[in-house]
Structure 1
């Protein structure tokens, strides 16, 4: 799922929760127009049906609550998952000649990290590959020295990613670069 899809999903969930909360608040104050504050919210027919199915209605409500809780837990797990669950195994390319080239993802990650730390302004680099092997998502975090020039580091990171794409034979589908500056005198 893309970042835009995640934001849309969370926006829909938030709007539904706000609507449910607002409705509950309006009902609790008896502010619904033309409604008796002492009347049952569900209506006589729904109350009779609920009471008629007494043990099963409670069980159905409990099961529904558990399923909603599990769906929420799964959604939170996917949203809070770090990109640490990375692409594992090999990146495989078919060539124009018979045969296939296989590259270990750990080798590609370490090579890109070494290339990124080749600039004197970059103290540490962390790279994670996720997604589909032909067009992986590349997540980069670089820790910069306090006196590093931002434009020079940006050019270095761009060049390193271009070299990575050429060497691996694949273009990143998404590239996310996070730069952190070490504390110190600029």
Structure 2
């Protein structure tokens, strides 16, 4: 999920929460007969005679309701589609200056090589690497699961050396890395 998607999620969910809180508060106020003149009787029909008459007297009511429902459905589909977007890089540009040509390395080749390098260690059970950001300035996200009886210091050194080899292969000194280290639960 991108930062923009995360911001949009927080804003959308906060707005939806406010709307649902207002609707729930209104329904509670009606049920408790706090304002029967404004909200109607607590024991009355939800859609009383005035609402039914309004819908019958205005031809545009039902089409407008259908359009509003379609817009809400499209917004919901757009939100679902936004959840799948990531900033994953497809290729890494090895030549920073386009005037000298274009040399691209598939990002999966680099990440799979890093994963293979790490999992060949007796300390590491599993590794998953992802390159995100821009092709010219990628960022590494690495999740490493250690074996049960592994010394974390040895594993950390192995990870540092593997990331250094990746930086060398990408011909860059600057490859920001976020590394998450997990351990397998002990056998019982």
| TM-score, reference length from structure 1 | 0.68
1:35 has 2:38 as partner:
yes
Q: Quote how far apart the aligned CAs of 1:57 are.
A: 1.7
Q: Quote how far apart the aligned CAs of 1:172 are.
A: 4.7
| Structure 1 contact 147–185 (Cα < 8 Å) conserved | no
- Cα 1:27–1:58, aligned 2, differ >3 Å: closer, same or farther? farther
Extract unaligned runs of 5+ from structure 1: none
1:19 to 8, 12, 21: 21
Runs of 4+ in 1 over 6 A off after TM superposition: 39-42, 44-48
Out of 99-108 and 162-171, give the one that drifted further. 162-171
SS in 2 for 1:129: strand
Q: How does 1:1-186 map to 2 (within 5 A)?
A: 1-2=2-3, 5=7, 8-9=10-11, 11-29=13-31, 30-32=33-35, 35=38, 37-38=40-41, 50-54=55-59, 56-79=60-83, 81=84, 86-95=88-97, 98-168=100-170, 169=172, 171-172=174-175, 175-185=177-187
- Cα 1:86–1:45, aligned 2, differ >3 Å: closer, same or farther? same
SS in 2 for 1:35: helix
Q: Quote how far apart the aligned CAs of 1:133 are.
A: 1.1
CA RMSD, Structure 1 to Structure 2 (Å) = 4.0
Out of 113-122 and 153-162, give the one that drifted further. 153-162
Extract unaligned runs of 5+ from structure 2: none
SS in 2 for 1:148: coil
| Structure 1 contact 26–32 (Cα < 8 Å) conserved | no
- Cα 1:101–1:152, aligned 2, differ >3 Å: closer, same or farther? same
| TM-score, reference length from structure 2 | 0.68
| Structure 2 contact 143–181 (Cα < 8 Å) conserved | yes
